Structure formats: structure tokens, C-alpha cells
Structure 1
Amino acid sequence: MHYIHSIRNTKPIEDRIAYPFNIDSILNLNELRFRSPVTFIIGENGSGKSTLVEAIAINAGFNPEGGTKNFNFHTKDSHSELFNDLQVIRTAFREHDGFFLRAESFYNVATEVDELFSEEKEAILRDPDKENALSELYGGSLHECSHGESFLNLMHKRFSGRGLYLLDEPESALSINSQFRLLTRINQLVNNKSQFIIATHSPILLAYPDSEIYTVSEFGLQQVEYEETEQFKLYKYFLNNYQKMVTELGLNE
């Protein structure tokens, strides 16, 4: 299932001067089509992948700091203005759920959820028959569990399917086993008519079958096969040659 068909950079090439167009991958991005329910965007730190996912999320109606389309809290502006120049072309289908998970500002999202919990508890005290909806949606306070557990609780409890989910480095708080669990959850949601756009460094997540992987480069975005990614090749080389790598890095000196 697709809810976003493609994105286009509407800014004329001669006007692509200031940030974030000083990033080569953003400067040379013209159009990107989404053909798979799961699309990964990969690249080095500072290469523009998170900037791009963030701009797509904002343009699709999500809070810049993360959360659902109903979240409107504001802590500090850290997003670029790329969303103003990005056109999101939608399909004829409309999602019934959605979330922008931004690892960098997830603490702010968890805090907002806790504040909503407090408001709900006060409302229940006034009216005991009122539904405890937020506890059902989020499985409790996201601050009352570890960072990784809060990520997984969010994806298992809050993500309900038939949704558009944009994730920025979701592996940042997850162990290897938890990344396996995330892969399983992604598959469950894809089978329930969901679309994912994910910026990641994880070779584990990139192994999701039939996904599309785009690497950001000085030429824009280029599609690559899983075993051609640096994530796969470097992790494989390190695991097969870790003693040599340790020596080459000067760690034995």
C-alpha cells in the first residue's frame, strides 16, 4: 500500500543556494518515487538523509519534532525549510494512522505524551466513565521505560496499521535483538496496508525483503541493492576481519 507516490523538488536549480541546498544530495534531488511499501534512505552523517525524511514528514502534516498529525507542541526549531520547496504527490488512498518518529527529539514527544496522560487522568477523575484512551494507545508513560523499550512500545501499541510511518534512525535506541523485533513489527504493519519511509544506518533493518534502498550522494539519491550498501559491506568485512581492523585502527598500540 502506498499513500505517498513521490516527492519533487520544486525550487529552481539556480535558486538552490542557501541551507539545506549546500548539501549535495539535497541540491541535486529533483524527484523520488516510492515503489515499495518500505523505502530506506541511507548515507553518512551530514549527508542529508534525515533532512529529507524530516521535510517529507512536515509536508505530509506531521509535527516537525515528531508525533502524530495531532501533535502541535513546539520546543525549538531545528528543522530546515526544505519542506517549503518539497512537493509530496499522494496516491488516491488516505492513511488512517500515521507517526513521525524522530530519534533526535523523541524525548520531547515522550514528554508531550506524559502531559496528555496527566490531562486525561484529571478528566477521568472528574468523569470516571471516561475512556482511558491514551494508556491504550501508548501502553503507559514512554518515560517510565528505557529508551529502546519506549521505541518498541510505541511501535507495537501506537502504530495500528493502514498508516504512513516516517522513521528517522529508529535503531538508535535498539539492541540487535530489538531490531529483529522491529523488523517483525514493520512486516506486520506492511501486511496491514502501511507504508514506511525510513532513514537508517542499520544493516539489519535494510535487510527487509523487497524494500527499496536509496543512498544519498553528491548526485542526489541513487538506488542500491542491499549487498551493495556500505552498511552491509563494512559490517561484513569487520565481522570477518575484526582482528585486522582493530590493528589497522591502531587499537593494539
Structure 2
Amino acid sequence: MIVERAYAHVASYDERRWPWSVPCVRELLGNGLCFTAPVTFLVGENGSGKSTLVEALAEGFGLDPWGGSHDWRYASSRGKSVLGQSVRFDAAPGGRRMLGSWAARKGFFLRAETAMNALDREGFAPEAVSHGEGFLAAFREKFLAPGLYVMDEPEAALSFSSCLELLGHLDQLTRNGGQVVCATHSPLLTALPGADIVEVGEHGMRRVAWRELALVDHWRRYLENPGAYLRHILD
């Protein structure tokens, strides 16, 4: 592993204003986030703050908030966020050299809405394939070396079978010395054996077993009886 803890400190903040109004951000300020496995999934409802959190972690590591590798920074018009610039890391034993030098840091920030633009900017443009196939091709070619790989909802472009292939890539990446932090809504991805799952919400952050995840429970109930949900939505 590269990182064993992320944290942030600011001199003062107003809890009524974003991002300090987000519970998981306040917990990052107070207790930090410890990493206990090579793959950490952040799970929560829309608006829970998981994307805010992963973007700040990427920025703190030196990755472009627009998306891309450590070698290509700040294609976006804005600089680091107020949270991202305050994020710091404690190195795991295997990550001390990488965290000790900006030049030694390696990794990639993959965010669903800008992924293909970021890959194109780095000279990887699979125009002849679909969006999902392009994602998987990027994993095959860009996600190889030891480093920190931060992802925001990578399943957005992927089918069921492609998500399974992605799990294989994540497993191989961690075997090669990589570490992954991934925000997701996917019960398929979060089932990766050995992964750490952190549920984000009004409570802040808490570790949850896969079978106890709210999203797993909802998907199981929905697939067993869609009408139980749809009758509240459809006339």
C-alpha cells in the first residue's frame, strides 16, 4: 500500500458553508480516514460527499481534479479546491519513497464525466471503440504501475460484464503495488474480496460489510420485487 491515512487541517471553518457542511469532510478534518486494504470503496447516496472526498484526496496527492495522471496537472480552469489543498497523507511502509517526493508520485484520477477527455489529453484516444470499451482499454494500458489510483464512479460507462472485467484489473493493479480509492454506487464492484468499504452519509464515515450496505439491500429487494418500489414512483 502507498497511503495508510488521509487527513486535513484548516485554521478555521464555517460548518454552514460547503464543503465544511458535509459530514464526511468534517470527519476528515477531525479523525482522518485510515486505509486498511489496497482497495477502498466509498459508498453513499448522491449528495453524501463521496465525490467531494475522492476529488480532495486526488488533489492532495497531486492529481488533476479534472482527471488524469500525476504527470498532467491542472487542465481545468480552476486550481486546487480549498479542501484539496489542505489534504495530507501518512505513508504506509511501502509508500514512504513515493510520498516523500512529488517527482516520485504516480497515479491517476479517473472521474466518469471527464475520463475520455483526460485520456485524450495524455495521448490515449481509442476513437474506434465505445465509451465503455475505451474505459477498459485505459485500465489495460494506464493502470499498471505502483501508485495511488482514485476513481469516481467508474461503473458509469460499464456493462455488468465490463464491471467484472474491471474487478480483475483492480485485483491485478493491487498485486502490482497499486492502491485504489473508489467512489461508487455499484454493489458488483464493492463485492471485491478483501476490499474495505466505507459508507458515507449524515453520520460521516463508517466501515460496513458488503452484505450490510444499504445499496446492496435495496438492489436485492428491487430485483426480487420491482413493483414494491415502482408503485411509489409510477401512476
TM-score range, shorter chain: 0.7 to 0.9
Deviation at 1:9, TM superposition (A): 2.4
Counterpart of 1:45 in structure 2 is: 46
Deviation at 1:73, TM superposition (A): 4.7
Q: Is the 8 A contact 2:13 2:20 kept in 1?
A: no
Pick the structure with greater CA Rg.
1
Counterpart of 2:56 in structure 1 is: 55
Q: Is the 8 A contact 2:199 2:205 kept in 1?
A: yes
The reply to whether residue 32 of structure 1 matches residue 16 of structure 2 is: no
Deviation at 1:98, TM superposition (A): 1.6
Counterpart of 1:127 in structure 2 is: none
Please list the CA deviations of residues 115-139 of structure 1 after superposition, one character each: whole Å capped at 9, or x if unmatched. xx4xxxxxxxxxxxxxxxxxxxx4x
Counterpart of 1:237 in structure 2 is: 221
Deviation at 1:97, TM superposition (A): 4.2
Between Structure 1 and Structure 2, how many residues are aligned?
225
Deviation at 1:248, TM superposition (A): 3.4
The reply to whether residue 103 of structure 1 matches residue 104 of structure 2 is: no
Instruction: Give the Cα–Cα distance (whole angstroms) in 2 for the partners of residues 229 and 187 of structure 1.
Output: 21
Counterpart of 2:201 in structure 1 is: 217
Counterpart of 1:151 in structure 2 is: 135
Q: Where do 5+ consecutive residues of structure 1 fail to align?
A: 118-137
Q: Is the 8 A contact 1:75 1:108 kept in 2?
A: no
Under a length normalisation based on structure 2, what TM-score does the superposition of the two structures give? 0.87
Seen in structure 2, the aligned counterparts of structure 1 residues 230 and 188 have a Cα distance that, compared at 3 Å, is same
Q: Is the 8 A contact 1:97 1:159 kept in 2?
A: no
Counterpart of 1:120 in structure 2 is: none
Deviation at 1:80, TM superposition (A): 3.3
Residue range with higher mean Cα deviation, 72-81 or 97-106 = 72-81
Instruction: Give the Cα–Cα distance (whole angstroms) in 1 for the partners of residues 18 and 73 of structure 2.
Output: 25
Q: Which amino acid aligns with 1:237?
A: R
Q: Secondary structure at the match of 1:142?
A: coil
Under a length normalisation based on structure 1, what TM-score does the superposition of the two structures give? 0.81
Instruction: Give the Cα–Cα distance (whole angstroms) in 1 for the partners of residues 206 and 189 of structure 2.
Output: 18
Q: Is the 8 A contact 2:24 2:53 kept in 1?
A: no
Q: Secondary structure at the match of 1:93?
A: helix
Counterpart of 2:92 in structure 1 is: 91
Q: Secondary structure at the match of 2:117?
A: helix
Root-mean-square deviation (CA), in Å?
A: 2.1
Counterpart of 2:171 in structure 1 is: 187
Residue range with higher mean Cα deviation, 90-99 or 100-109 = 90-99
Instruction: Give the Cα–Cα distance (whole angstroms) in 2 for the partners of residues 219 and 78 of structure 1.
Output: 30
Q: Which amino acid aligns with 2:142?
A: R
Q: Where do 5+ consecutive residues of structure 2 fail to align?
A: 99-104
